[in-house]
């Protein structure tokens, strides 16, 4: 299988600070890869190494089959990117900024500017100086510059930053369309798992410079904790009944019973039957899935303990 992005033990050290360590990841053609991590985890450093902006102190990065080196012209004709906060020349209009970006990608036809302005909803602002744009429209302009030359690979650092909810949905749909209908590959970083989980085919989680975990959407779903929440009029008695039947039960202060066993989660009707037969019928039964952010923080916290330990 040919990989669009491939890193081999990639590392970056700034003096005593090891920003990225032993990072080996692979991104397949046509997928959206979500690169997740807290602020300062090493996401942007990794992206800058992938783009040949900073030199790795260890390992290698290969993008579209070309070994990335500082100052090279390859493979950037087929790569679009947006790193950190998008910036533009404030004295130029939106159109002029895109025209400048077009000339930095020789071979891009002049019509591409009109097309991307329309695609990213920038038409009302195309004659406005970018210094007067809102943060959200700056973000759109950054995306427009990344997509202008119809690249095969799009590398985006926190693309939803500063966008309103409608803008976030729009970008999500755009990225899905680019991969599903146009065969593009997207590598996007974020610190919000919920945002990444909605579009990414695979997710890589980076923490303190290490790639903690790589998983696909199904694995992500399976790894999240689930529990069965039971409410009834006599929780103490119900707890005794459930425990006697071999369930591990936790009684919360508000009287909710929490069961984490796989059997209870998969067959809540059996729990219901057990309680009805014991004359403590439940008033409510609900399977709760751990939130994505809780899962992310749990994973990161556990790994941090492991590293510190």
| Residues forming the site for other proteins (CB under 8 A) | 45, 48, 51-55, 70-71, 73-74, 76-77, 79, 81, 83-85, 87-92, 96, 99-101, 103-106, 145
Three-state SS at 286:
strand
If the CB atoms of residues 185 and 247 are measured against other proteins, the closer one turns out to be 185
Comparing CB distances to other proteins, the nearer of 21 and 102 is 102
- Comparing CB distances to other proteins, the nearer of 51 and 58 is 51
Q: How far is the CB of 97 from other proteins (least distance, A)?
A: 9
Neighbours of 300 (CB within 10 A): 20
Which contiguous run of DSSP H or E holds residue 241?
Answer: helix 235-244
Four-residue CA torsion sign, 277, 279, 284, 287: negative
Q: Which is nearer to other proteins, 65 or 281 (CB)?
A: 65
| Extended beta strands in 44-119, E state | 58-63, 66-67, 79-82
Q: How far apart are the C-alpha atoms of 155 and 152, rounded to whole Å?
A: 10
Looking at the Cβ atoms of 24 and 72, the one nearer to other proteins is 72
CA distance 204 to 181: 24
Say if residue 93 is preceded by a cis peptide, omega within 30 of 0: no
3 state DSSP class of 18: strand
Contact between residue 61 and residue 10 where contact means Cβ atoms under 8 Å apart: yes
- Taking CA atoms, 272 is separated from 7, 143, 247, 266, 286, in Å, by 51, 52, 13, 12, 11
**For other proteins, which is the closer residue by CB, 104 or 289?**
104
């Amino acid at each position: 299988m040919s990989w669009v992005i491939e890193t081999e033990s990639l590392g970056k050290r700034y003096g005593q600070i090891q920003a990225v360590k032993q990072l080996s990841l692979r991104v397949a053609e046509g997928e959206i890869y979500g690169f997740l991590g807290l602020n300062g985890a090493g996401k942007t450093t990794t992206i800058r190494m992938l783009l040949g902006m900073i030199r790795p102190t260890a390992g290698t990065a290969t993008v579209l089959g070309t070994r990335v080196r500082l100052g090279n012209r390859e493979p950037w004709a087929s790569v679009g990117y947006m790193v950190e906060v998008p910036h533009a020349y404030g004295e130029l209009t939106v159109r002029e900024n895109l025209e400048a970006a077009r000339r930095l990608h020789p071979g891009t036809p002049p019509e591409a500017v009109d097309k991307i302005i329309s695609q990213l909803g920038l038409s009302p602002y195309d004659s406005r100086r970018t210094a007067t744009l809102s943060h959200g429209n700056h973000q759109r302009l950054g995306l427009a510059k990344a997509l202008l030359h119809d690249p095969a690979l799009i590398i985006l650092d926190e693309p939803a930053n500063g966008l309103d909810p409608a803008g976030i949905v729009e970008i999500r749909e755009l990225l899905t369309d680019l991969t599903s209908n146009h065969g593009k590959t997207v590598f996007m970083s974020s610190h919000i798992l919920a945002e990444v989980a909605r579009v990414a085919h695979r997710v890589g989680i980076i923490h303190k410079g290490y790639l903690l975990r790589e998983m696909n959407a199904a694995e992500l779903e399976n790894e999240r904790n689930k529990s069965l929440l039971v409410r009834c009029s006599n929780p103490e008695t119900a707890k005794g009944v459930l425990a006697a039947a071999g369930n591990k039960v936790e009684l919360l202060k508000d009287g909710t019973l929490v069961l984490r066993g796989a059997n209870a989660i998969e067959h809540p009707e059996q729990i219901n039957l057990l309680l009805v037969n014991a004359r403590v019928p439940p008033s409510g039964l609900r399977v709760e899935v751990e939130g994505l952010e809780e899962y992310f923080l749990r994973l990161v916290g556990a790994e941090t303990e492991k590293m510190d330990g």
